Amino acid sequence: MTERFAGQTVLVTGGAQGMGAAHVRCFAAEGANVVIGDVVDDLGAELAAELGGAGKYVHLDVSEPNDWSKAVADAERTFGPISVLVNNAGIGPDPARIADTPTEVWRKVLSVNLDGCFFGIRAVVPSMRRAGSGSILNVSSAAGLIGTPMQAPYTTSKFALRGLTKTAAVELGIENIRVNAIFPGYVVTPLLESKGFTSEDAGLDAKLAIPRMAQPEEVSRAVLFLCSSEATYVTGAEFSIDGGYAAGSPVPIYTNVPLSAAYNG
């Protein structure tokens, strides 16, 4: 490890499990003081204890502006002004056609996946100004790059996050605050596992150039790069970490046979 974030205060939302927990551990290994924001209190407290003095858990419902105010104040009181925010928290609804999607489901998904990132950016900017610089990373999805049937609320929230990212990047660059977005695809996390996806999913060779699910740490490496001083001229960028999902299907349009099967004879 290179201690790229030595002494910096990093806030990761949805940090108690899945990709968020992987990001938290990687930031801590690079010298950061990490604030874990989540609503899963027991897992968040366990992870903070694992990190010792470098970790702190705060209860943070990202859809609630007051929770954001408390989380930022707690982070500053414990570790100092925030240098990095990773807007990682997100939820996905059960599959449904648009015509069958309840209003409350639509609003709940957007309140977490989109409003939560907006509230987060708004809350941390004053702290980053006190720090002298900052990096904000919004976690979108491969579903934010292509239409995804049966997932209108999720897909819409992830597409909208692209516009928020670019607008914030343009507004905040003059203050030495960078804002970027990543677009993970199939990642081994509790969210996807709860929906029936596994790392051995037999259908992935028809969807991905790299026919497997990613491990969370593979996403974390990109997160650390984009938030670090190695990426000081990168802002408003979109970074896919999806095994080629958004690039196109590896199944040729004139056949139903995946390339992997053709290569294997």
Give the pLDDT confidence of 160-197 residue by residue, as tens digits.
Answer: 999 999 999 999 999 999 999 999 999 998 766 666 66
Is 233 labeled as catalytic in the residue annotation? no
Helical segments of the chain, H only = 18-29, 41-51, 65-79, 103-110, 116-131, 152-172, 190-194, 216-227, 259-263
Residue 239: inside a domain, yes or no?
yes
Count of domains forming the chain: 1
For residues 26 and 200, the model is more confident at: 26
Find the mean pLDDT for residues 212-241: 97
The catalytically annotated residue of 57, 154, 186, 245 is 154
Residue 28 has pLDDT above 90, yes or no: yes
Q: For the domain that residue 200 is a member of, what is the CATH number?
A: 3.40.50.720
Residue 74: inside a domain, yes or no?
yes
pLDDT recorded at residue 265: 43
Helix (H, G, I), strand (E, B) or coil at 208: coil
pLDDT recorded at residue 2: 78
Residue 162: inside a domain, yes or no?
yes
Residue 4: inside a domain, yes or no?
no
Residue 3: inside a domain, yes or no?
no
Residue 17 has pLDDT above 80, yes or no: yes
For the chain, the C-alpha Rg in angstroms (whole number) is: 19
Residue range of the domain that includes 17 = 9-263
Residue 2: inside a domain, yes or no?
no
Residue 1: inside a domain, yes or no?
no
User: Mean pLDDT over all residues of the chain?
Assistant: 93
Among candidate residues 131, 168, 133, 79, the one with its CA nearest the CA of residue 71: 79
In this prediction, residue 199 has a pLDDT band, given cuts at 50, 70 and 90, of low
Contacts 24+ apart (CB under 8 A), 255-261: 258/205, 258/206, 258/211, 259/205, 260/205, 260/211, 261/205
Residue 166 contacts residue 120 (beta carbons within 8 Å) = no
Find the mean pLDDT for residues 221-229: 98
Among candidate residues 34, 32, 3, the one with its CA nearest the CA of residue 21: 34
pLDDT recorded at residue 189: 81
pLDDT recorded at residue 147: 94
Residue 257 has pLDDT above 80, yes or no: no
Residue 234: inside a domain, yes or no?
yes
* pTM to 2 decimal places: 0.92
pLDDT recorded at residue 191: 66
- pLDDT tens-digit profile of 109-161? 999 999 999 999 999 999 999 999 999 999 999 999 999 999 999 999 999 99
